[in-house]
């Protein structure tokens, strides 16, 4: 949450002349409900099931840059499908930066807590090993602007394909 997946993904897709999709936005379009409402009605488990279905479908498309929610790696099926079907890029960002980027965003159900820092720390303890396991490329975005990050990703993708 707040690493820049959608912003950077959209710019990467544009630069590479590819399509772009965001799994969270796709879920919202299909259900007609925003993510917080889905969490309220179905809980995190219901949301994760929807997410798995959408990621399975989108990850089979060609010529697509896909941004997923930060919790997508919690399901082994998502990790396997993403890793096997494309180049996975982990946008690594420090907790201070994540807090700054998400401080006014009320559309993140997991951060609606009295102590967002503690929540980020808990999430990262669980998720970061999964991100690192799944990713083909890790890019630190803490101090980088969008264009620099996109150019670094493109450079790493070229290196990966060589």
Over residues 135-156, the pLDDT tens digits come to: 999 998 877 789 999 999 999 9
Over residues 62-103, the pLDDT tens digits come to: 999 999 988 999 999 999 999 999 999 999 888 887 777 666
pTM for this model (two decimals): 0.87
Domain boundaries, the chain: 5-154
Residue 60 has pLDDT above 70, yes or no: yes
> 55, 71 in Cβ contact below 8 A?
no
Helix axes 76-85, 35-58, angle to 10 degrees: 40
Architecture of 5-154 per CATH? 3-Layer(aba) Sandwich (3.40)
- Closest of 86, 72, 78 to residue 12, by C-alpha: 86
Tokens of 6: 């959608």
């Amino acid at each position: 949450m707040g690493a820049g997946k959608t912003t950077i993904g959209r710019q990467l897709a544009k630069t590479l002349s590819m399509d772009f999709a965001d799994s969270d936005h796709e879920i919202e379009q299909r259900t007609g409900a925003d993510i917080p409402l889905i969490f309220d009605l179905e809980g995190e488990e219901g949301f994760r099931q929807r997410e798995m279905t959408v990621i399975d479908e989108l990850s089979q498309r060609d010529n697509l840059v896909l941004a997923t929610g930060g919790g997508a790696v919690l399901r082994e099926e998502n990790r396997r499908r993403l890793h096997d079907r494309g180049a996975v890029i982990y946008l690594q960002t420090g907790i201070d930066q994540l807090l700054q980027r998400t401080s006014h965003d009320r559309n993140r159900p997991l951060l609606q807590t009295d102590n967002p820092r503690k929540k980020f720390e808990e999430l990262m303890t669980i998720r970061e090993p999964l991100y690192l396991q799944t990713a083909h490329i890790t890019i630190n975005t803490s101090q980088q602007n969008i264009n620099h990050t996109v150019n670094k990703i493109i450079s790493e993708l070229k290196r990966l394909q060589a």
